Amino acid sequence: MTPEPVRLDPVAVQRLAPETWRALIAISTAAKKSGLGDELIELVKLRASLLNGCHYCIAMHTGISRGLGVSEQRIQAVEHWRDSDLFSPRERAAFAWTDGLTHLAKGGVPNSVYREASEAFSETDLAALTSVVVSINAWNRIALAYGFQPETEAGGRR
């Protein structure tokens, strides 16, 4: 049996591609200057990470959401947001937008989703939301490519 290849960890990727890393950090943090709010940004990042199956990012954005005071019930409901009454129309529009941008292979973002998002967000905030979704999808792909593992409760990697 062929042994599993050793993949890069986040520190190595940051060291080997510092300009890319810095650019993604800049995109990721630019939305904090918008009217989206930290809680919505983190829930959107969690939603995209759930769709992509990125356990590293799921753990990270779950933890950040908890730190912001998001209830465990709302965090758990992000996975099945369409069936939950725990989210505002604005949050629901953000999740629909996230789903559309994350699943582009299904034919792009439907007009109905764009209409819903553009009614819930100003043009500026929709542009910021799009940047959040684009950046978390990029981070998910990096983490999945290299098999990044979330930290355990003891502080080490799984």
CATH number, domain at 69?
Answer: 1.20.1290.10
pTM, two decimal places: 0.91
DSSP state of 147: T
Q: What is the predicted pLDDT for the residue at 11? A: 87
**Confidence check: pLDDT of 23 > 60:** yes
Query: Which pLDDT does position 6 carry in this prediction?
Result: 75
Residue numbers of the domain that contains 92: 37-146
For 76-105, write each residue's pLDDT tens digit: 999 999 999 999 999 999 999 999 999 988
Is 17 inside a domain boundary? no
Q: Is residue 21 part of a domain?
A: no
Residue 134 belongs to some domain of the structure: yes
The CA distances from residue 79 to 40, 147, 154, in Å, are: 14, 22, 26
Answer whether residue 69 is part of any domain. Answer: yes
Residue 60 counted as domain residue: yes
Per the domain annotation, does 2 fall within a domain?
no
Q: What are the angstrom distances between the C-alpha of 109 and each of 2, 22, 116, 118, 147?
A: 41, 28, 11, 12, 28
Total domains in the chain come to 1
Q: What is the pLDDT of residues 24-35, one digit of tens each?
A: 999 988 988 899
Span 115-126, mean pLDDT?
97
CA–CA gap between residue 68 and residue 8 (Å, rounded): 30
